Amino acid sequence: MALLQRVAEQGRRVVRFTLDGRPVEALEGDTVLTAMLTNGERLRRTEFADTPRAGFCMMGACQDCWVRTEEGERLRACGTFIADGMRLLSSGEWNS
């Protein structure tokens, strides 16, 4: 079940991306964090303890929300906007 719940602003254009290979949808103006957490429960698993993480501060300070794309790029999920065709992974940096 999704971690984040939409409570407003749902009239925006749908953006299509993949999460762990699965086609899913978000809305234009969503951050990568919002896009992933309205479709799942985590952003990554940590390389230290293999535990799930879903970000923390949402304002670019804690650095807890770095995610990988299938191409191997690293994104800070709270400060990057979702775009059509993104291929995102929630398995973590070293487990992908």
What is the C-alpha separation between 24 and 86, in angstroms, rounded?
Answer: 10
Q: Does 72 bind other proteins (CB under 8 A)?
A: no
What is the C-alpha separation between 16 and 50, in angstroms, rounded?
Answer: 28
Pairing of strands 74-76, 87-89: unpaired
Map the footprint of other proteins across residues 31-50, applying CB under 8 A. 31, 34, 37-38, 41-42, 46, 48-49
Q: Give the 3-state secondary structure of residue 26.
A: strand
Provide the minimum distance between the beta carbon of 32 and other proteins in the complex, in angstroms, as a whole number. 11
Q: Which of 18, 20, 52, 93 binds other proteins (CB under 8 A)?
A: 52
Q: Which residues bind other proteins (CB under 8 A)?
A: 3-13, 28-31, 34, 37-38, 41-42, 46, 48-49, 51-64, 66, 74, 76, 78-79, 81
